[in-house]
Amino acid sequence: MRKYGEYREEARGLTTELCLVLALSVVGTIVVSAVAIAVVATVAPYEYFSHATTMKMSPGYWMQLFWLRLVQCGIGTFVLVVGTAAYKTWQFSESGGRSVATALGGSRVHEGATDSGHVKVKNVVEELAIATSMRAPPVYVLEEEPGINAFVAGFTPKDAVIGVTRGAIDKMKRHQLQGMIAHEFSHLINGDMRLNVRLLGVLAGIQAIDYIARFLLRLATPEVESSGRCSKHPLGMILAFLFGIVIWPIGQIGAFFAMLIHMAVNRQREFLADASAVEFTHDPQGLCEALAKLLDEDAGSRLTSPSAQLASHMFFASSGGTWQRLLQAHPPLEERIRRLDPTSAAAALQ
């Protein structure tokens, strides 16, 4: 049987490899976009001079023009993608954990709480904080959520919070709740929140190419004035259409593969958090039973809050329906259980 430390190192290694693949895909998307735009920017004037005028330019002139446009387009595309990624990363990091918990309908558990469930989850969080030598983050309870789930939100440990659904508090035994919250502590310690924010920023940067393409295609749409004449210049509409139709599929494909890599990275971080949680609690059974319980309960891990889908990557398990799990950042529950306790996985999954 493999040790949890081996699973942890494997997940970290795969995360690094996937991030390198993502970086290469971003560079590839920028290069292909720049080449495509440069080709259009060179072919368009070539066609115009060849058919609309009697001027003749040497092949060397057009080749020089292409390389000039390629450099210009490469710099422009790079600034667009990297600038959007940097801005979105900053924007995502500004939304602290408290605002996320509040948006999901959570209420903070304060000192002196009398609710037995609140006391139980707060004690578990404080015990794990001591075990991991961390400051105990504020605890929020999602009172209106009957499903079993938890999350950690925040860009740094200083502004992080732990959120737990009411269903998890009521339906789980203490050692199961401890395993689930230890998993969330692992995300905090491993810096997964910061990594995820940066990945989301990169994804937004790639999607900027798609936004520009859509904008150009809208410019290519004719607008008829009251007099019956088109308000846009025909040549401008044609150029906008050409640029838009060329870079639109590139942006779509780049964003799609970036999203797939982002999901793959998140799955590896979930495996890493599971392995780290067991090392914190020294009790694989608690986390294993918590995961198995999600397969048994009718409510499962599903959340009803409208904001849950946007924050689905933060949760202990998938917060969507069955069809949505095909595009979720969480690995299958069965696989997570098998990695935690292969010997009892068959019994837990029956």
Which residues have a catalytic role annotated?
184
Tokens 């600038």 appear where? 83
Which two tokens mark 284?
């694989």
Burial of 234 (0-12, 13-18, 19+ CB in 10 A): exposed
CA distance 110 to 254: 45
Q: Strands across the sheet with 150-153, in order?
A: 107-108, 139-142, 161-165, 150-153
Query: Can you read off the two tokens belonging to residue 304?
Result: 């009803």
Beta strand extents in the chain (DSSP E only): 107-108, 139-142, 150-153, 161-165
Nearest to 38 by CA among 215, 242, 238: 242
Max CA-CA distance within the chain?
Answer: 89
